[in-house]
């Protein structure tokens, strides 16, 4: 049963994507806010069109959607502090027929990483984020975007 559900979701995703080229239901904004001496919050904020959702970094074991993955490139001038927080109204979705579950966000989600700059320098943090967006009827294939956020006075 589980394999047939996964196959259905994959085929449905591919068919939906082939007919939806040029569809952009999510917009990302990247920014930094100074919160203390040499300490910044890096914000990767997703705005989603009505009816679309993106996924949390943490998913149930039976989830078939791509969880959001954020990777920071190493920068010897910047230290990451703690884990990436998610700010938004997380929805715990469950398909009653298949039992598949997902942790997802509608409208907006803000992924926040606290960083500390080593020294009095202007620098940046960069990396990539991989995400997937879906409606209740279809999913677009996972996508990876690169980002750069400036830090410093």
Q: Is residue 151 within 8 Å of residue 96, measured between CB atoms?
A: no
In sequence order, which residues have a C-beta less than 8 Å from that of residue 98 and are 6 or more positions away? 1, 5
The CATH number assigned to the domain with range 2-151 reads 2.60.40.1250
H-state helical runs in the chain: 2-18
Res. 77: pLDDT tops 60:
yes
pTM: 0.83
pLDDT tens for 118-131 read 988 899 999 999 99
pLDDT band at 69 (very low <50, low <70, confident <90, very high): very high
Q: Tens of pLDDT along 13-67? A: 444 444 445 678 999 999 999 999 999 999 999 999 999 999 999 999 888 889 9
Residue boundaries of the structural domains of the chain:
2-151
CA distances from 132 to 13, 108, 117, 137 (A): 10, 14, 31, 14
């Amino acid at each position: 049963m589980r394999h047939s559900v996964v196959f259905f979701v994959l085929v449905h995703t591919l068919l939906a994507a082939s007919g939806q080229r040029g569809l952009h239901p999510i917009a990302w904004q990247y920014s930094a806010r100074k919160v203390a001496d040499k300490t910044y919050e890096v914000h990767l904020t997703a705005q989603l069109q009505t009816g679309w959702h993106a996924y949390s970094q943490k998913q149930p074991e039976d989830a078939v959607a791509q969880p959001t993955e954020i990777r920071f490139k190493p920068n010897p001038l910047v230290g990451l502090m703690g884990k990436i927080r998610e700010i938004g109204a997380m929805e715990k979705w469950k398909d009653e027929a298949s039992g598949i579950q997902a942790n997802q966000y509608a409208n907006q989600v803000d992924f926040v990483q606290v960083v500390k700059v080593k020294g009095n320098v202007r620098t940046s943090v960069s990396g990539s984020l991989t995400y997937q967006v879906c409606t209740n009827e279809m999913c677009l294939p996972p996508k990876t975007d690169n980002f750069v956020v400036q830090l410093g006075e």
